[in-house]
Amino acid sequence: MSKKKLLEVSGLKQYFGKASAPIKAVDGISFDVYEGEVLGLVGESGSGKSTTGRSIIGLYDVTEGEIRYDGQLISQGQDKQARKALAKNMQMIFQDPYASLNPRMTVSEIIGEGFDIHNMYTDKSERRQRISQLLEQVGLNREHANRYAHEFSGGQRQRIGIARALSLEPKFIIADEPISALDVSIQAQVVNLLKQLQREQNLTYLFIAHDLSMVKYISDRIAVMNNGKIVELGNSEDIYSRPIHPYTRSLLSAIPKPDPISESKRKRIHYHSQANTEDAKTFEVSNGHFVYASTAQYQQWLQETSK
């Protein structure tokens, strides 16, 4: 992993609705994603994770803050050409492979759609070859190209979604809960595939999830999001071995333990959003491990977690 910042998000706010009473989906978040790393973005439903991903990919007019990709400001005032170039570098994998793939299109049409927009393959056999290659990369086979999306299982559909995301050879992929809609039995397979592709192609991921169970296996660092804010960020190891924010602790306490004895001792921690966060700021617990708290909260949480 290099130390080059591929994505820089600073002070991002994304509000919806009336200006007088906005829905603060994303409420002032800052983080970087380094080239070649996987940053996990975790939080319960409604935390603002998808909005973060969608803001990055350019689906909204940003309310406030800046987003930079490869040093270039992408959060405002881009022309069509710049947006097109960006779309090629940055792709999204969606949560629901049933809703995100058109059932009336063949696999070949779905995967090859971007080729036409970007004038990539005018030669038919070259195009077919590339589709076969993509299918094999995601663990499907070339005979699948002429079938329709609705003929596949959830896991296979997500593989098609991954092939589509890879078709334009992006550098950066936002995977928005790519396994949440899948059977538990195949979730690990899809995570392993994503991890393998990331290593082989030196891809950079923002990997969104609503719980901390699978994220551990794929992420180098993890950002924990609650109520539109990043409340804790650090190396995966720090987040798992020394979580400070009570929200992170509650998410960790929700993961079932693999062995029955530890599982019987597992205590759920319940988090109730604390109202007194007016003077909250970011504290650095240890190198690269940050927590968002008021001074009083920070001191209390350090004490609670040092026992």
Cβ at position 201, least distance to ligand ADP in Å: 26
Is 59 near ligand ADP (CB under 6 A)?
no
In the chain, the largest separation of any two C-alpha atoms, in whole Å, equals: 65
Collapse the DSSP code of 9 into the 3-class scheme (helix H, G, I; strand E, B; otherwise coil) and give the result.
strand
Candidates 6, 8, 29, 51; binder of ligand ADP (CB under 6 A) is: 51
The residues, ordered by sequence, that sit 6+ positions from 121 with a Cβ below 8 Å of its Cβ are: 112, 115, 127, 130
Instruction: Count interface residues toward Mg ion (CB under 5 A).
Output: 1
Looking at the Cβ atoms of 68 and 210, the one nearer to ligand ADP is 210
- Backbone φ and ψ for 164, nearest 5 degrees, come out as -60, -45
Is 50 near ligand ADP (CB under 6 A)?
yes
Cβ at position 19, least distance to ligand ADP in Å: 13
> Which entry of ligand ADP, Mg ion, none binds 23, CB below 5 to 8 A by partner kind?
ligand ADP
Contact 108, 131 (CB under 8 A): yes
> Which entry of Mg ion, ligand ADP, none binds 43, CB below 5 to 8 A by partner kind?
ligand ADP
Q: Which of 68, 55, 89, 60 is nearest to 225 (CA)?
A: 55
Q: Which of 216, 227, 239 is nearest to 291 (CA)?
A: 239
Is 50 near Mg ion (CB under 5 A)?
yes
Cβ at position 48, least distance to ligand ADP in Å: 4
Question: Helix 246-253 vs helix 295-306: angle between axes, to the nearest 10 degrees?
Answer: 40
Distance CA 115, CA 1 (A): 30
Cβ at position 52, least distance to ligand ADP in Å: 7
Is 43 near ligand ADP (CB under 6 A)?
yes
What is the distance, to the nearest Å, from the Cα of residue 161 to the centroid of all Cα atoms in its chain?
15
Looking at the Cβ atoms of 131 and 175, the one nearer to Mg ion is 175
Is 198 near ligand ADP (CB under 6 A)?
no
Looking at the Cβ atoms of 43 and 161, the one nearer to ligand ADP is 43
Letter for the amino acid at 105?
M
Distance CA 289, CA 241 (A): 12
> Which entry of ligand ADP, Mg ion, none binds 103, CB below 5 to 8 A by partner kind?
none
Q: Point out which residues bind ligand ADP (CB under 6 A).
A: 16-17, 23, 25, 43, 45-51
